[in-house]
């Protein structure tokens, strides 16, 4: 049992040490630019990645600004797709599961927006369809992937890859969560600094 624990921690630490720092920084720059132009951020994924997408949206919309919730300041506008389970099942049943993200995304996309696609394999057809739609609209895409990155890593403008053996979902999703919190903490600190030194609008 202890051998398993040590092995898992060792693998996790190695993955963290090898994260693509420059790509994560590029993602932060894109997020800040989207905020400054009052654009929206659309986040989606399947299974555990959908849970991460939902968490990401909560952090961007609320946690980042937790010290400023009583102030009338502009905040991130992050939207998880689909926005409801009803919409997800309607698209899946009436059109096809491959359209559960691209269908809703087409309703919202406009100039100045940003897409964050999360997929451990990087090859989920419904993820790729939504990313292709974003590219068609010339919307920048942050791809958060694992294993070898798949098609998502090829298409994305920012490529955050947690490179593991195929099938190591637990490691990939765990490190994706760390990246989420890393970015959340950065922006929380950033807006706290602005609030103390420059009045944020």
Structure confidence at residue 133 (pLDDT): 98
The sheet that has 78-80: what strands, in order across it? 78-80, 41-45, 114-119, 141-147, 158-163
Structural domain of 84: 2-197
Distance of alpha carbon 75 from the chain centroid = 17
Structure confidence at residue 197 (pLDDT): 79
Structure confidence at residue 200 (pLDDT): 52
Cα–Cα–Cα angle for 17, 21, 22, nearest 5°?
155
Q: Which two structure tokens, joined as six digits, stand for 140?
A: 């920048």
Structure confidence at residue 54 (pLDDT): 97
Per-residue confidence in pLDDT tens, the chain, 201 aa: 999 999 999 999 999 999 999 999 999 999 999 999 999 999 999 999 999 999 999 999 999 998 888 888 889 999 999 999 999 999 999 999 999 999 999 999 999 999 999 999 999 999 999 999 999 999 999 999 999 999 999 999 999 999 999 999 999 999 999 999 999 999 999 998 887 777 555
52-75 pLDDT tens trace: 999 999 999 999 998 888 888 889
Q: Which helix (H) or strand (E) holds 143?
A: strand 141-147
Domain count, the chain: 1
What would the DSSP string read from start to end of 48-64?
HHHHHHHHHHHHHHTGG
The pTM for the full model equals 0.94
Structure confidence at residue 73 (pLDDT): 82
CATH of the domain at 158: 3.40.50.10490
């Amino acid at each position: 049992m202890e051998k398993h624990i040590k092995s898992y921690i060792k693998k996790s630490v190695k993955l963290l040490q090898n994260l693509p720092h420059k790509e994560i920084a590029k993602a932060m720059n894109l997020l800040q630019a989207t905020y400054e132009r009052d654009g929206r951020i659309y986040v989606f994924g399947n299974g555990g990645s959908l849970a991460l997408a939902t968490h990401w949206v909560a952090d961007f919309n609320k946690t980042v600004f937790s010290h400023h919730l009583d102030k009338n300041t502009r905040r991130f506008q992050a939207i998880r797709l689909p926005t409801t389970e009803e919409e997800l099942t309607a698209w899946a049943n009436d059109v096809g599961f491959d359209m559960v993200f691209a269908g809703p995304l087409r309703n919202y996309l406009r100039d100045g927006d940003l897409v964050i696609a999360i997929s451990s394999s990087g090859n989920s057809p419904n993820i790729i369809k939504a990313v292709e739609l974003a590219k068609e609209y010339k919307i920048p895409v942050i791809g958060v992937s694992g294993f070898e990155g798949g098609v998502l890593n090829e298409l994305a403008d920012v490529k955050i890859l947690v490179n593991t053996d195929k099938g190591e979902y637990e490691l990939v999703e765990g490190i994706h969560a760390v990246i989420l919190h890393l970015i959340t903490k950065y922006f929380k600190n950033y807006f706290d600094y602005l609030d103390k030194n420059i009045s944020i609008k």
